[in-house]
Amino acid sequence: MFGLDKKDTRLLIIVAILTFCAPIILNPFPADSALAQFNAGYPDLMQRFVIFGIFAIGFNILFGLTGYLSFGHAAFLGVGSYSAVWMFKLLSYNVVPAIILSVITAGLFAIVIGFVSLRRSGIYFSILTLAFAQMSYNLAYSVLTPITNGETGLQVYSNDPQYLKGNGPDVTHLFGLEMRSILEIKIAGWTFDFTIGYYMCAVIMLISFYLAIRIFRSPFGLMLRAIKANQTRLNYTGISPRPYMLAAFVISGMYAGLAGGLLASMDPLAGAERMQWTASGEVVLMTILGGVGTLLGPVLGAGFIKYAENIFSKINENVLHSWFSFLPDGLEEAVVWLFARFVGEGWHLTLGLMFMLIVIFLPGGLVEGGQRIARAFGRKDKDASSSTPAE
Amino acid sequence: MDAIILQILNGLDKGSAYALIALGLTLIFGTLGVVNFAHGALFMIGAFCAVTLQRLMKISYVTIDESQKDFLGNPLEVKVPYLQSWFGESFGTALIDWSVPIAIVFSIPVMLAVGYTMERGLIKHFYKRPHADQILVTFGLAIVLQEIIKYFFGANPIQTPAPSAFLGSMDFGVLLGFDPNVIIYPVWRLVYFAFSAIIIAGVFAFLQFTTFGMVVRAGMADRETVGLLGINIDRRFTLMFGLAAAVAGMAGVMYTPILSPNYHMGMDFLVLSFVVVVVGGMGSLPGAVAAGFLLGILQSFASMNEVKAILPGIDQIIIYLVAIIILLTRPRGLMGRKGVMED
């Protein structure tokens, strides 16, 4: 189907079903139960799942296939957000032109940055992309304030021209369908929210996912893998890897721009902090956590990180006390104190630990973890893949 | 002319910090071949050594002085640091006043221990892994260290003043034969520069003139052969990691009067120091030092109003711009060696 082989079609269909049913699947607990805070099925969070999924899928096309670790991908996300908000300011709240422009601008940026950065490889490439991203971040905060609105962040004001607005709504919409319009269904104790915004993002994510599969299976994708495997040899066969690399870089930059545009479409705001290098680090983590170079990995990783971020940072000491109230008093205090260090404000500590643990114990990410478990039922050769040889 | 000299001086203190951190980073690159993203965190831990020592020294007991009254009319509570009661009033006060320089002594064993633990506990297992993995695991470690410091010391910057003898500014221009009041420069920044020059010289002398240093240099050039000669090079490299940590820590201690330490100061310096290392040339110690000072001075020139009037925003991006230009024209950096981190 769609030019995919059987296995990929099955994967795509499974992902599609999971994405479309996410508002139901991610709400396993009744709304008023104590476990309701583990529900992830509310629009804001689900949108972030799929948007960062797109970001990570795009990043994986570069990092997973070619092995070039970019530490500045957040710059494209930021650029995409800014261009989308500018479209809202100038034209109307319709998201279509905003998303198109954000993809195009991010692509143009990626051509320039990629053209320069790709002249070096390895750690130098990482530092070059990092330098470009930090430059964009610093400029967005200082000199480019007329375009980016500096520290306040770019947003739409009531006196903006919005030439095409007419009688259109005052919130982001897709030809009249408001992003925030919500269909709430209550069944017994459960509440399920279906929003236009989430489904638009989900459809776009599925299209991006489909394109990524096609890229992975195409001769172009094979060429990118060849670059990762042995670039020197590729040179000797008379093929210049540069155009392929640049194409991969631009494609992944456009994915990031798309994600940025979608972020702005869900909430018409853009701030420079989206470009900071920690944001670039986050997408690297998502990809690694899920599984570098796998199709499903980045989406899983993005969902996992965003879910953990949201859940961990929401829990506070009161919640912990209610959980551990069955323990004897002194012990309860100790346990709550211990856990409180890792949740709420301490979420970053958990993130850092997760970073380390994943890289140390599970370099292949969740996908590899799943495969290992699957394999453990067959035979026991777990150690074969536990150490990745140096490149 | 005087404006130029002033800008050079302004660049020196930042440049010294960059140079010291970059020196440590390069030592680690050159010896262990590890890309250490947690090096900024070591700088930060050093700075917090100074904060800790200052707090320890200020631990006081409270006596109630009946003869004085506070504004509510209650007897005044007088806090006397233990140091004052142990060592006498004048010497005790002097000790507290000099807490930052004393913290250097305190920080060296702490940083050596931190560095040693880090290398043995974590970095050791990453020699053979790709650079991407090394970057990620040390990046995670940096976040963890940062959060631990944040838990103990809070998120706000903590003031740690320099000894009162070094407070204020001096008229540096007079020494060079300029008119008085032309080049005024804070004393502590000069101290910082002199201190970093001593440390850098010390590290180079250690590598150049001791047997230990000779073995380490040989190991940097060809690790395998040194190993074949029956020298336990790993142990020496571990010590070099500790040394690099100590250098970063001392840089942090001395920097506290210039910039009140907060928990993310390490990250702020790290990215820049990385750029410095790349500009100087991976694995080249003189390159790291030269590039550190060069970029520090360039940055201070770029923040002159005259320059900013021509190229707005240049002060924000100069370092990255220089890095991009250097990497594209001299791919190995200013003094990079052939065969080091070429891939």
In tens, the pLDDT along A176-219 reads 778 777 788 887 777 788 888 889 999 999 999 999 999 999 99
Chain B residue with the nearest C-alpha to that of A69:
B132
Q: Which of B131, B271, B313 sits opposite A123 (nearest CB)?
A: B131
Is the pLDDT at A304 greater than 80? The verdict is: yes
Which of B269, B279, B307, B316 is the mutation pick for testing A, counting most A CBs within 10 A? B316
The pLDDT value given to residue B169: 78
Residue of A nearest to B145 (CA): A349
> Residue range A321-331: average pLDDT?
77
In Å, how far is B144's CA from the nearest CA of chain A?
5
Retrieve residue A237's tokens. 């066969």
Q: Which residues of A359-369 are buried (b: 16+ CB within 10 A; e: fewer)?
A: bbebbbbbbbe
Q: Taking the domains of chain A in order of start, what are their residue ranges?
A: 6-293, 315-391
A6-293 is a CATH 3.90.75 domain? no
DSSP reduced 3-state for B78: strand
Contact call for B140 and A353, based on CB within 8 A: yes
What is the token pair recorded at A290?
A: 């899920």
For the beta carbon of residue A142, count every other beta carbon within 10 angstroms: 19
ipTM of predicted assembly, 2 dp = 0.79
The shortest CB-CB distance from B132 to any of A69, A138, A341 is to A69
Fold observed for domain B2-59+100-329 = ABC transporter involved in vitamin B12 uptake, BtuC (1.10.3470)
Which chain A residues are closer than 8 Å to B25 by Cβ?
none
CB contacts of B275 in chain A (<8 Å) are 127, 130-131
Is B278 near chain A, with CB under 8 Å? Answer: yes
Q: Name the token pair of A165.
A: 């607005």
Lowest mean pLDDT segment, chosen from A352-356, B69-73, B167-171: B69-73
Q: Using a CB–CB cutoff of 8 Å, tell me whether B154 touches chain A.
A: no
- Looking at residue A1, what is its pLDDT? 64
* Interface contact B323, partner A, CB < 8 A: yes
pLDDT of amino acid A372: 85
Structure token digits, residue A150: 């500096």
Higher pLDDT, A230 or B1: A230
Q: Do B271 and A134 touch (CB under 8 A)?
A: yes
A87-105: average pLDDT: 90
Q: Do residue B129 and residue A349 have CB atoms under 8 angstroms apart?
A: no
> Residue B259 corresponds to which tokens in the numbers above?
């910039």
B143 touches A: beta carbon within 8 Å: yes
- Rounded Cα distance between A81 and A258, Å, is 9
pLDDT at A386 over 80: no
The arithmetic mean of pLDDT across residues B52-72, rounded, is: 79
Residue A122 sits at φ, ψ, to 5 deg, of 60, -140
Q: For A388, which residue in chain B has the nearest alpha carbon?
A: B129
Confidence of residue A326 (pLDDT cuts 50, 70, 90): confident
Question: Nearest to residue B244, comparing CAs of B88, B40, B1, B54?
Answer: B40
Confidence at residue A379, expressed as pLDDT on a 0 to 100 scale: 60
Residue of B nearest to A124 (CA): B278
Give per-residue burial for B273-296: e unless 16+ CB within 10 Å, then b: bbbbbbbbbbbbbebbbbbbbbbb
Q: Which of A69, A131, A348 is the closest to B143 by Cβ?
A: A348
The candidate with the shortest Cα–Cα distance to A133, out of A113, A105, A103, A107, is: A113
What is the torsion angle, in degrees rounded to the nearest 10, for the CA atoms of residue B3, residue B8, residue B10 and residue B12? -170
Of A147 and A258, the structure prediction assigns the larger pLDDT to: A258
Q: What are residue A316's phi and psi, to 5 degrees?
A: -125, -175
CB A116 within 8 A of CB A268: no
Nearest to B140 among A144, A359, A363 (CB): A359
- Kindly determine whether residue A139 and residue B312, on different chains, have CB atoms separated by under 8 Å: no
Distance from CA of B312 to the nearest CA of A (A): 6
**pLDDT value at A106 more than 90:** yes
Partner B contacted by A338 (CB < 8 A) = no
Please state the rounded mean pLDDT for residues A119-133. Answer: 84
Distance, CA of B126 to CA of B68 (rounded, Å): 63
Question: Which pLDDT belongs to residue B338?
Answer: 67
Rg of chain B, C-alpha, whole Å: 22
- Contact call for A352 and B135, based on CB within 8 A: no
Mean predicted confidence (pLDDT) in A257-277:
88
Return the pLDDT at B14. 84
pLDDT tier at B271, thresholds 50, 70, 90: confident
Q: Specify the pLDDT at position A167.
A: 75
In angstroms, rounded to a whole number, what is the distance separating the alpha carbons of residues B234 and B227? 9
* Residue B128 to residue A387, Cβ atoms within 8 A: yes
Contact yes or no for A126 and B137 at CB 8 A: no
Q: 3-state class of A67 per DSSP?
A: coil
Tell me the per-residue pLDDT of B125-142, one tens digit each, with 9 for 90 and over: 888 888 778 888 888 898
- B196 near B13, Cβ under 8 Å? no
Q: Which residues contact B264 (CB under 8 A, 6 or more apart)?
A: B44, B146
d(CA B296, CA B17) in angstroms, rounded, equals 9
pLDDT confidence band for B340 (50 / 70 / 90): low
The confidence score (pLDDT) of residue A21 equals 85
Which of A182-196, B107-121, B148-162 has the lowest average pLDDT? Answer: A182-196
Distance from CA of B300 to the nearest CA of A (A): 16
Q: Do B320 and A134 touch (CB under 8 A)?
A: yes
B-contacting residues in A 244-303 (Cβ below 8 Å): 277-278, 281, 284-285, 288
What are the structural domain ranges in chain B? 2-59+100-329
Model confidence at A381, in pLDDT bands (50, 70, 90)? very low
Give the Cα separation of B73 and B71 in Å (integer).
5
Average pLDDT, chain B: 84
Q: What is the pLDDT of residue A257?
A: 95
**Mean pLDDT over residues B282-294, rounded?**
88
- Residues in chain B with CB shorter than 8 Å from the CB of A59 are none
Helix (H, G, I), strand (E, B) or coil at B169: strand
Give the gap in angstroms from C-alpha B225 to the nearest C-alpha of chain A: 20
* Three-class DSSP category at B326: helix
DSSP string, A3-18: T--HHHHHHHHHHHHH
Residue-level pLDDT at B341: 55
Q: Do B131 and A353 touch (CB under 8 A)?
A: no
Give the model's pLDDT for residue B143. 87
> How close is the nearest chain A Cα to the Cα of B215, in Å?
25
Cβ–Cβ below 8 Å for A69 and B144: no
Residue A80's pLDDT is what? 94
Contacts of A341 in chain B (CB under 8 A): 151
pLDDT at residue B339, rounded to an integer: 60
Pairwise CB contact (< 8 Å): A351 & B278: no
A127/B contact by beta carbon, under 8 A: yes
For the entire predicted model, the pTM comes to 0.84
User: What single DSSP character describes residue A94?
Assistant: B
Q: Which of A131, A127, A115 is nearest to A75 (CA)?
A: A131
Provide the pLDDT for residue B9: 83
- The three-state DSSP-derived secondary structure of A263-295 is HHHHCCEECHHHHCHHHHHHHHHHHHHHCCCCC
Amino acid identity at B147: E
User: How far does the CA of residue B143 sit from the closest CA of chain A (Å)?
Assistant: 5
Q: Which of residues 49-68 of A touch B (CB under 8 A)?
A: 63
